[in-house]
Structure 1
Amino acid sequence: RDVRPPRKVKDVLPDYPAIARAAGVQGAVILEASIDERGHVTGASLLRSIPLLDQAAIDAVLQWQYEPAIVDGKAEPVTLTVTVNFVARDAPDVR
């Protein structure tokens, strides 16, 4: 089989929740993202949760766009594991 994995072409950074930043909450939220045959993210579910950051991570990932996965010359839906990192010192004051 000739397989080409999906490639991210649009990345949207998460909005760092002010309450999480103020509390110094940071880390990686890991999601399972469903990518359709057009490269759109159609769903995201939590694999590793940080409660104050989860929704911001999901909201960002749902806006990502991919070149679709190609299997034997045909676009196919796939599921990917994706990581959204939050680092308090890198968070802008206003987004």
Structure 2
Amino acid sequence: FETPEIDTIVLLSDGCPSKAGHKWKELIEKILVDVPKWNALPKIEIDTFGFEGEGELPPGQQRGKPDPEDPKPEDLIAFLKKLAEDSGGKYTPVP
């Protein structure tokens, strides 16, 4: 957000934000609060692209037991849509 020549950020994601020792919901909340502050003056458009659905695993690999605290695909989609919308950007799903 400090480079004046930049007018667009393209974000491609396959999951919710993650950082060791932090909960994904807290990270999303922090990002959605901080980005508009950082982007108040330069007004950089953020276009987001998100892989929707459960995705494919390599042959022979099985999914682990789901944790009810894990984010769902709709959590990622809602986050990416909001991030794009707040900056004047656009969300595009990736099948």
Normalising by structure 2, we get a TM-score of 0.25
Return the structure number with greater helix share.
Answer: 2
Normalising by structure 1, we get a TM-score of 0.25
